[in-house]
Amino acid sequence: MTLRSITVLLGSVIFSGVVIYWGFNIMFPSKPNPSRLLLAKIRGGDYAHAGDKDAFRVVLPKIVDYFKERLVEQTVLDVGCGLGGTADYLYTQGFYNIWGIDIDKGAIEYARSKYPFIDFSVWDATQVDQKFEKDFFSLLYLFNVFYALSDQQKMQTLNSLAAVAKPGALLVIFECTSPKAEDPQEIKDLTGKPMRPIVLPVFHDMIKKSKWEIIEKVDLSDQYIKWYKDLLYKLDQQKNSFTNEFPVEIINHLTTTYIAILEKLEKKTWGGIVVYAKRKPD
């Protein structure tokens, strides 16, 4: 799908008319972000991160190998868990001791109602050490969460996660990247947060100052392009059915956001990466 055809898609959505929408108050009393719900519908699961299930196929083998398939023994923290789909996927793979945190109350209430076998709570990633015990988690992961944090908050989060991680625990950061810092107001995510991709030299310095040690990095820039093209293609194919369920403004917002991200990726000003890090001994 070319950027030209995607732009045509946006125009067709804009002129498709305004839909008066009342369903969220009835269906979801906790009012999860409707953009997140639309994104989950397009992805075919309660995922907000790039690649949805394809991302797991990239990340999971490394995680399983790290723990030598002793998955049921691990304590897991999903940071920025959103609607709970990622935690649920890990549960189906044999991780049965999972906690999820997110600052979006509506998303957490949705996740609790749909995945009651996982412990979800409203909490700030920069302060997890105030909620959980020291040396508690053996696996901690963030899928497209770091971009929503300032550099100061990124550093606070790394330190906070290290405090609740066991020595030798695995940290997985799946994120978009940029070679240099950009105007954080240029692109905002579906919740209105400025997008600040990790700048790798700065991120490496943060890791060195923390109790984490990078053990592997995998460039996912090409996969990110494919994933966002696929997402916009799915939106194009299903947009008529979406207008019966979601306000046209929500569809427009999602479309423009992901067109802007795809443009960044295709121009190589943004990329994608997964970083695996190990908690250093005390």
Mean pLDDT per block of 10 residues along the chain (282 residues) reads 44 35 39 88 92 93 92 96 96 96 96 97 97 98 95 97 98 95 80 91 96 97 97 90 89 93 96 98 92
3-277, superfamily in CATH?
Answer: Vaccinia Virus protein VP39 (3.40.50.150)
44: left (phi over 0), alpha (psi -120 to 50) or beta: left
- How high is the pLDDT of residue 30? 57
> In the numeric block, which tokens belong to residue 275?
């970083």
Closest C-alpha to 269, from 277, 278, 261: 261
pTM > 0.85:
yes
Question: What are residue 162's phi and psi, to 5 degrees?
Answer: -60, -35
Q: Which amino acid is it at 108? A: I
Residue spans of the domains in the chain: they are 3-277
Closest C-alpha to 142, from 113, 100, 105: 100
- How high is the pLDDT of residue 193? 86
- How high is the pLDDT of residue 19? 31
Closest C-alpha to 28, from 124, 115, 108: 108
